[in-house]
């Protein structure tokens, strides 16, 4: 067994058993998440844990409703069909015993400073914000959570699709932390079935460049 086996055990799980996840386990996973690196050690994350099945179902309905509303702005029939067809994937969390919402706070970058100064053309200033370190921090914490969950035998599924209903979701749960926005979410629970193999990965030679 590889010493990195805990990484390869992670799967995107979309079906869960009804068994509740002990709060101690959730806290342990969240602790692992908060040990992720973050630029300037800002730790610009906040986690909301929902274990109320009725509230989780309500959030799923909000996503369904917002999807239908946004679809009305589309005019291409193929794109409408694709977007409307995403609803089942954006609501897979409704069968999980726990739902983790990951919020992000603002993170000032050099692009913000240059834009504020107003001397450098805005288009050029914005180029320096492409790395988006604030969201990279959230991504690092989320991945820590997913890997820690897999190591304890839990299933998760990294989700950003449902965030188009971010405002409705935040209002539903009564979460209002100034400056924070919903960046990602993941269901959490015991997998109801084997998730099977992960999709194939691109060969290393295709995605790696060595400069010697």
pLDDT of residue 1: 55
Tell me the C-alpha distance between 183 and 186, whole Å: 11
Q: What are phi and psi of 185, to 5 degrees?
A: -155, 160
Share the mean pLDDT of the chain: 95
pLDDT of residue 6: 85
Going along the chain from its start, the domains and CATH numbers come out as 5-192 (3.40.109.10)
pLDDT at 33 over 60: yes
The pLDDT tens digits of the residues spanning 101-117 come to 999 999 999 999 999 99
pLDDT of residue 92: 97
* pTM greater than 0.85: yes
pLDDT at 70 over 80: yes
Task: Lowest mean pLDDT of 24-28, 30-34, 178-182, 192-196, name the range.
Answer: 192-196
First to last CA, the chain: 31
pLDDT of residue 2: 75
Average pLDDT over residues 161-177: 97
Average pLDDT over residues 6-16: 92
Burial 12-46 (b: 16+ CB within 10 A, else e): ebbebeeeebeeebbeebbebbeebebbeeeebbb
pLDDT band at 157 (very low <50, low <70, confident <90, very high): very high
pLDDT band at 193 (very low <50, low <70, confident <90, very high): confident
- C-alpha 32: how far from chain center: 16
**What secondary structure letter does DSSP report for 13?**
-
The pLDDT tens digits of the residues spanning 18-30 come to 999 999 999 999 9
Tell me the C-alpha distance between 55 and 57, whole Å: 5
């Amino acid at each position: 067994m590889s010493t990195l086996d805990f990484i390869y055990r992670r799967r995107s799980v979309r079906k869960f058993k009804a068994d509740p996840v002990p709060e101690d386990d959730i806290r342990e996973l969240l602790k692992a998440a908060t040990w992720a690196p973050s630029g300037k050690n800002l730790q610009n994350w906040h986690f909301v844990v929902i274990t109320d099945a009725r509230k989780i179902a309500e959030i799923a309905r909000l996503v369904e409703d917002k999807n239908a509303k946004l679809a009305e702005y589309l005019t291409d029939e193929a794109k409408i069909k694709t977007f409307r067809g995403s609803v089942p994937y954006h609501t897979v969390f409704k069968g999980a015993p726990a739902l983790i919402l990951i919020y992000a706070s603002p993170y000032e970058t050099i692009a913000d400073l240059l834009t504020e100064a107003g001397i450098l053309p805005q288009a050029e200033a914005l180029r320096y914000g492409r790395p988006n370190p604030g969201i990279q921090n959230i991504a690092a914490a989320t991945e820590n959570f997913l890997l820690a969950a897999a190591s304890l035998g839990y299933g998760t599924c990294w989700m950003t699709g449902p965030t188009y209903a971010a405002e409705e979701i935040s209002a539903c749960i009564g979460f209002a932390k100034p400056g924070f926005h919903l960046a990602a979410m993941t269901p959490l629970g015991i997998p109801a079935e084997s998730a099977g193999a992960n999709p194939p990965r691109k060969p290393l030679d295709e995605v790696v460049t060595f400069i010697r």
